[in-house]
């Protein structure tokens, strides 16, 4: 029998996975109570029932934990409906755009502060760029990620009760057909 490591898929120690899960859950529960700026590594460690040295063995700081948490959760949301399997660009972007807005909508209740908000946006853009790069190449993926995530973040602040579908539809039309064609219609 060939081991998982020999086959090229390294196996993560269950203790590492368990500790990271505890840290993610601790941060998530703290974010429901107070803003990110006021949360310390000591708060996270205490809530997770691990010592600070253990925290630092897994993450460089609380921003690294937040980044990992956002990217892992967002990656799961992006994969909903397996949008990369479609050959139709419009259908792919509609599915991904809806997944982006759904994810942002789930985080409406997170306390907004000057550290959390930009980190949420950066992490989402980085994960979406990686997700789309195989389909579009890095540069195009980066442009699409920036457009979709930026619009979703604006929607989060300015019109969170408005339905996202028309916004996503308009954006996808512009991304697929171009700005000039959209404005002449």
The predicted model gives 127-139 an average pLDDT of: 93
DSSP string, 105-161: HHTTTSPP-TTHHHHHHHHHHHHHHHHHHHHH-HHHHHHHHHHHHHHHHHHHHH-TT
- 38 & 78 share domain: no
Residue-wise pLDDT for 3-42, tens only, equals 444 444 467 788 888 999 999 999 989 988 888 888 999 9
Say yes or no to pLDDT of 131 above 80: yes
pLDDT at 30: 92
- 94 & 44 share domain: no
pLDDT at 24: 94
Q: What range does the domain containing 42 cover? A: 14-59
- 39 & 126 share domain: no
Percent of the chain with pLDDT over 70: 86
The angle, 0 to 180 degrees and rounded to 10, between the axes of the packed helices 14-31 and 62-78 is 100
Please say whether the beta carbons of 128 and 74 come within 8 A. Answer: yes
Structural domain total, the chain: 2
Token pair, residue 123, equals 């992490």
Most confident of 36-40, 140-144, 162-166, 176-180: 140-144
* pLDDT higher at 31 or 133: 133
- 102 & 73 share domain: yes
- 38 & 83 share domain: no
Please say whether the beta carbons of 168 and 97 come within 8 A. Answer: yes
Say yes or no to pLDDT of 169 above 80: yes
Q: Which of 6, 33, 59 is the last residue of a domain?
A: 59
């Amino acid at each position: 029998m060939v081991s998982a490591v020999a086959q090229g898929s390294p196996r993560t120690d269950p203790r590492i996975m368990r500790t990271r899960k505890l840290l993610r859950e601790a941060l998530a529960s703290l974010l429901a109570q107070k803003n990110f700026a006021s949360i310390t590594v000591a708060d996270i460690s205490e809530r997770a029932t691990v010592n600070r040295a253990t925290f630092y063995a897994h993450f460089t700081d609380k921003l690294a934990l937040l980044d990992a948490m956002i990217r892992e959760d967002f990656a799961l949301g992006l994969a909903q409906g397996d949008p990369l399997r479609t050959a139709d660009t419009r259908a792919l972007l509609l599915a991904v755009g809806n997944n982006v807005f759904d994810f942002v909508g789930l985080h409406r209740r997170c306390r907004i502060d000057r550290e959390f908000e930009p980190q949420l946006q950066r992490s989402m853009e980085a994960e979406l760029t990686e997700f789309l790069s195989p389909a579009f190449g890095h540069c195009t993926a980066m442009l699409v990620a920036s457009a979709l995530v930026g619009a979703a973040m604006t929607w989060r602040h300015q019109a969170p009760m408005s339905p996202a579908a028309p916004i996503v539809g308009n954006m996808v039309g512009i991304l697929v057909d171009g700005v000039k064609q959209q404005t002449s219609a």
